Amino acid sequence: MHFKRRRVSSALVAASPTMLHPRLVSAALLLAGSALGNGLNAPSEEVINRDVHVFKITTEMDSTHQVVNEAVNSTANGPCPGYSLHSLSQNKNGLTAKLNLAGPACNVFGTDVANLTIQVTYETETRLHVNIFDTANSQFTVPESVFARPKASGSTNAKNSDLVFNYDANPFAFWITRRSAPHSTPLFDTRISSLPPTPIAPVIPSDNSTALDGFPLIFENQYLQLASALPLGANIYGLGEVVASSGIRRDIGTDGGVGTIQNDWARDIADPVNENIYGVHPIYMEHRFNSTTSTSQSHGVFLLNPAGADIMLLTPPGSNVSLIEYRLIGGTLDFYFLAGPTPQSVIEQYSAIVGTPTWQPYWGFGFHLCRWGYPNLATVKDVVARMRAADIPLETMWNDIDLYHAFRDFTADPVSFAPDEMREWIQDLRKNHQHYVPIVDAAIPKEINSTDIYNPYSKGTDLDVFIKNPDGTEYVGQVWPGYTVFPDWFAPNALGWWTEALKNWSALGVEFSGIWLDMNEASSFCDGSCGTGIDISNTSTPFILPGEPGNILTVYPEGYNATISGPSGNITVNGTLSYGAAEVSSPLVTRGIGAGNQTGVDLNTPPYAIHNANGRLSNHALATNATHHGGYAELDVHSLWGLMEAEATHKALKAILPGQRPFIISRSAFASAGKWAAHWLGDNFSRWEYMYYSIQGVLQHQIFQIPFVGADTCGFNDNTDEELCNRWMQLAAFTPFYRNHNIKGAISQEPYVWDSVANASRTAIAVRYAMLPYWYSLFANASLHGTPPVRALFWEFPNQPELFALDRQFLVGRDILVTPVLTPNVSTVDAIFPGAGKTIWRDWYTHDVVNASTTGNTTLEAPLGHINVHVRDGAALLLHQKPGYTVEETRQDPFSLLVTQSGNGHAFGATYLDDGVSDPPGPSTTVTVTASKNSVKITSKGKFHVAQKLAEVTVLGVATKPSSVSVGGKAVKGFTYASKQQKVVLTGLSVDLNKDTTIAWK
């Protein structure tokens, strides 16, 4: 958790605090990310006036950041020479060759590597692996123990692969084509002749590093570069994690955009726009549409390299092509190309590389509640009681760092959260079929003196599990509990030590059902190492916590005018929505893109300064020369820390809670993290645009194979208000992870605070809980096949260009279309109904067919408290008939079935059922529903016994009222028919879903 203000006085542009933690919105500021790395010297003390706050910040700035990177592909000695290919050796699955430097070394940001090896492997018919590495194998590559490479099929070769590797020998270049379309534009193309003519002035005028003097392959010990041509204005998705102002489709520098510099460096920061944040996922999907044939194809490109990097999407002025350029400060060029050809198949093929997502427990799909700032257990109990009194379902209660004693992991405050009282309360939750999840921070506090006893530290020291300085001494940083050390996940004893610490915590009384991993980029408040001579006994944070004297969070909600609406936080005045009344809302201030050219080359200041928005790589992070077991430098493995912690925690929970699925939410991630944990979108803001941004965040992570994801509902930073929270509680009910969470010192935003929010929440949660069998089946498919549960509209309708940038609506599976309200003061919303008039969409609540425009938007009624949800024709959804207070209560009631026939009467659906908790998953049963013109057939296959009966069936699309209806060959008298909705409803049934059944009508 961290946070910062976004709106900052222009007088602050020069400041860049290096000792302040960005989680603190009011206290830290971090200048909205706008000044970090901009090369300006900050005053030693700056008084900041913002809203009603006054803070003092001590800052430093490394003067070496005053020089920006120049064009990176040439030097004063001439252009970089590229490489030539020789010693080619082919085999049935691919080829191997040597690449030698084709001329004098340019040594632009390091030392040119003279001898490279390229290995090309046709791994499957849809996956091609191209690996370019230094022949001496001295560059860092991700160990197999951290990222297990996928196995080749053994039967795939250059003749039966859908992808074709083509190359020129001198200068070496390669391009990837489809076998089915050898003369079409290549999918990836590094030939100089395919790229724009150079030299090119800075494509982004404010950033000299976007000047392009040429596109040679550069492979140095501290700098790698490779560029590929793209179709002009290509549709690019992925490359994260990021909150992108352009939306789900990345800005490639056309249609009024400036281009994208996606920085890969895991960073502890509060959800800035167009900057690097918590996770690193170097995977993109490109979607190409043929306007002549009105058909489309997608493909994917994944670079397995966790090094700090800039991935640039640019279109030079006047160019007839766009381009992607990779600039990395280490590692190798280890590419995987995925053939698709549909968006869904690209995502599924990526899962074969990184692994399919971990199985989620059924209870994880319930509603979760948390805040930073619950002062004691009595307050938490009161919140739970008020949720019950308001009849708002609550599945899981969470604790932030308030739980801890002295902010120390694996503790509980002996007064505020007494362990014995915690145990009793958590056991009461469990009796009510509810759950508890606490936070675990990345840093482990040092013992402060000889009388201080903190077993996780002393035991970890004995077992040698902490990261070290280059000289072998203990690396010391600073986080919430004061001066800290950090687990080294490469250390042989780390997993055993971590498991014991979590087990002891549970035995203490904190009997968790899951774990929340935070601050795991890993974050540290010092700029790199805290150094020598520190006062270990000083456990205070170097800033004032929010909500405490000197840092009171008094800012009004976005668009709120207290002179009109008073201090209550209500949204209306005499029934009129009042967002922005007599006020002009200030837009977010975003950082100007820029980076510094470092001097004095070493591990802490690589010569090419990537666009890390914190400036130096060690700022709010571990020093990049910190050393891991095996000799790994933090510079190379920094962005792997969160992934490795997630794996360790997953394995620990399997030992502590045997037979149960580990439920883990992690902030930082690298490719393959979804095998071990889920994700939340970090410390967002209580602003309307952040509710909108949450949709792209959820969709991004479907591509990344971390599908169980969601945002802090109603916003984390700043104060929310009634209208925003009302709309957000509805939207988030249709995202996988559903948790309301906000900052210490902000106004309360539990859903019972406002009556309208309570009503909206009850309605939305009821729909969510009814759909739980559908949600659960989607995630079973994700865990089995990598199929994305939540989808952008064009993933299902890939031949409709108007959908390619659409991210204000989304699909749950193939069948549920969600159209949230994302702006204030409105009672309608515009929607696109995909299918070009050939798909029938029905209102979820009324079952009315939508009279939708076939060429543009359709305006829908959207009064406060209502979210538009529509179901697609051809769907057959097994639902919970009576949503209960908890997921378990809901599961105990009978099922209902909703069938929405297409024009020819067809419908299909498959529901995966098991016990919802076993790990590995135990016996399961799949209930398949197939509809034709006059019947619905239910078949059951599997060994899991489905105890609940099917009590109700609704069939939509029945053109005329049936004269008779039968279930299992027996006539049913009690059915109704509604001609407007062409709806047949059967109630009072008791159908055994373990047997095959047919429902028929005449």
Q: Which helix (H) or strand (E) holds 758?
A: helix 755-770
Find where tokens 């883990």 sit: 664
User: Active-site residue among 162, 189, 488, 521?
Assistant: 521
* Residue of 48, 33, 7, 6 whose CA lies nearest to 550: 48
Question: Sign of torsion, CA 373 378 379 381?
Answer: positive
Q: How many residues does the chain have?
A: 1002
Catalytic residue among 271, 683, 712, 873: 683
- Residues 69, 598: Cα–Cα separation, whole Å: 8
Burial class (CB in 10 A: 0-12, 13-18, 19+), 89: exposed
Assess whether 683 carries a catalytic annotation.
yes
Tokens 């190798």 appear where? 332
Whether 521 is a known active-site residue: answer yes
518 is catalytic: yes
Transcribe 67-109 into DSSP letters: SB---TTEETTEE---EEEEEEEEETTEEEEEEEE-SS---SS
Under 8 Å between Cβ of 195 and 229: yes
DSSP 249: B
Q: Is 422 exposed, middle or buried (0-12, 13-18, 19+ CB in 10 A)?
A: buried
Listed residue (348, 387, 441) closest to 703, CA to CA? 348
Distances (CA, A) of 833 to 793, 841, 894, 907, 985: 9, 7, 32, 19, 26
C-alpha distances in Å from residue 704, one per residue of 237, 641, 929, 954: 11, 17, 31, 36
Amino acid at site 668: S
Q: Do residues 626 and 529 touch, judged by C-beta distance below 8 A?
A: yes
Distance of CA 702 to the CA centre of its chain: 8
The span from the CA of 806 to the CA of 819, in Å, is: 11
- How far is residue 423's CA from residue 380's CA, in Å, rounded to a whole number? 14
DSSP 208: G
Main-chain phi, psi angles of 103, to 5 degrees: 180, -170
Q: How far is CA 529 from CA 121, 306, 407, 418, 477, in A?
A: 42, 22, 20, 34, 6
Catalytic pick from 271, 286, 518, 647? 518
- Which residues are paired to 295 by β-bridges? 290
Half-sphere exposure of 151 (CA within 13 A, CB side): 3
> Does residue 962 have a cis bond before it (omega within 30 degrees)?
no
What is the C-alpha separation between 43 and 36, in angstroms, rounded?
A: 14
**How far are the Cα atoms of 508, 754, 847 from residue 865, in angstroms, in the given order?**
43, 12, 19
Residues near 830 by beta carbon (within 8 Å), at least 6 away in sequence: 857, 858, 859, 860
Structure tokens given for 905: 């009467």
Name the burial class of residue 595, with classes exposed (0-12), middle (13-18) and buried (19+) by CB atoms within 10 angstroms of its CB.
buried
User: How far apart (Å, rounded) are the C-alpha atoms in residues 113 and 474?
Assistant: 34
DSSP string spanning 937-994? EEEEEESS---S-EEEEEEE---S--S-EEETTEEE--EEEETTTTEEEE-S--B-TT
Q: Say if CB 396 and CB 369 are below 8 A apart.
A: yes
State the DSSP string of 360-382: PPGGGGS-EE--TT--SHHHHHH
Which residue numbers are catalytic? Answer: 518, 521, 683
